[in-house]
Amino acid sequence: MTELQRTSLYDAHVAAGAKIVPFAGWEMPVEYEGVRAEHLAVRSTCGLFDVSHMGQIDVTGPGSREFLQSILTNDITRIGPGQAQYTLLPDDDGGVIDDLLAYALLDRILLVVNASNIAPCVERVTSLAPAGVTVVNRSPEVAMLALQGPTWAKALTPIASPEPFSLPYMEATEATVAGVPCLVARTGYTGEPGVEIMCPAEAAPAIWDALMAVPDAPVPAGLAARDTLRLEMGYPLYGNELGRDRSPISAGLKWACDLKHGGFPGAERMQREAEDGTPDRLVGIVLTEKGIPRGGCAVMADGQQVGTVTSGTLSPSLGVGAALAYVSPDHAHVGAKLSIDVRGKQKSAEVTSLPMVDTSPRKEHHS
């Protein structure tokens, strides 16, 4: 077993009373005061997450954009300087190596990838890169904080310049936060408006402390709340909803696959699946009685298994058991009556629309 890594904010987490757990090779805060309070704070005010475990890969050199266009699923030519795009890195069979955000910056294209997939992403991109394109893994030196929730701008105002409030959703800008030069992006994984702040690792504690000291300070929020927030939105999590064993199409990510132009690995399979359908599809499910579905639980209809839960929890916003699951197309429509086998007990459930909560990360700042 390799030594677990700590982010530069480890001491701040311990000081804030975090419960620390191993996650993707890191010692990360899973919760502070409690996942429900943190979750609800992000939905109603704002929360601050340490996501420094995530990976940052710089792609530079002439032809970088054309190269990435040939290996990523989304149409990267659609984003201009400062814009970010959700995309996928497929393997040769159209399975998913990772889902990621690509940022078109002035001097480079920045790929922000999942912590558990830094090595496979670096290896894949490097192995395919043509002469002149340079791939650099900057993950060890970059920290990342996610300030998420409707009052994010109030928290950031006193310590940021220029004020990044007019930044549109899915755009990034350079800014100074607590005296630290940062890349501030209107992105996130919670469904709430907010920003993600990338900075030199050693400077992250200064930003964390400054945010915690403003009058409208965010609540420190851990990985557990990050997971319940994304689940309510229906955002897939790599390793649960995404993996090498399926293409993005059954996960409902056709919108992030540029099938019109194609040309990337697995495009033909994805095109075929988009036309013919897939054996199962990702849906959101809520229990209509008490109970909590968990990953691996069978989804049942008329006594037959019709799918499998990939992520399950108690939704803090709805107060009911909630899941993401792959189910057969016959049962994938909103309102479909199902049951979930929770350790031998059949819990009645139904397919729900996604997101499960009424929110949007696109909301602009008004105050």
Partner 1 sequence: MSDETYPGDLRYHPEHDWARVDGDVATFGVTWFAQDALGEVVYYDPPAVGDTVTAGSSYGELESVKAVSDIIAPASGEVVEVNGAVSDTPELVNGDPYGEGWLIKVRVSDPAELDALMDEPAYRAYLAGLNG
Smallest gap from residue 23 Cβ to partner 1 (A): 11
- To the nearest whole angstrom, how small is the minimum distance from the Cβ of residue 54 to partner 1? 20
- Taking the complex as a whole, the smallest distance from the CB of residue 343 to partner 1 amounts, in Å, to 8
Q: Which is nearer to partner 1, 31 or 171 (CB)?
A: 31
Residue 328 contacts by C-beta under 8 Å, 6 or more apart in sequence?
Answer: 279, 280, 281, 306, 307
The helix/strand/coil state of 173 is strand
Smallest distance from partner 1 to CB 228, Å: 6
Question: Do residues 62 and 40 touch, judged by C-beta distance below 8 A?
Answer: no
Structure token pair of residue 360: 């949007």
Least Cβ distance, residue 316 to partner 1 (angstroms): 7
Q: What residues make contact with partner 1 under the rule CB under 8 A?
A: 19, 30-31, 34-36, 224, 227-228, 290-292, 294, 313-314, 316, 343, 345
Choose among 242, 241, 246: nearest CA to 278: 246
How wide is the angle at C-alpha 361 spanned by C-alphas 358 and 364, nearest 5°? 105
Q: Smaller CB distance to partner 1: residue 265 or 321?
A: 321
Beta strands across the sheet bearing 109-113: 83-90, 96-104, 109-113, 55-60, 134-137
Helix, strand, coil abundance in the chain, percent, nearest 5: 25, 35, 40
Tokens of 167: 């930044």
Q: Are strands 345-352 and 337-342 parallel, antiparallel or unpaired?
A: antiparallel
Task: Pick between residue 31 and residue 50 the one whose CB is nearest to partner 1.
Answer: 31
Pick 36 or 138: Cβ nearer partner 1: 36
Give the nearer residue to partner 1 in terms of CB position, either 266 or 291: 291
Euclidean distance between CA atoms 36 and 49, whole angstroms: 15
Q: How far is the CB of 34 from partner 1 (least distance, A)?
A: 4
Residue 333 or 345: which CB sits closer to partner 1?
345
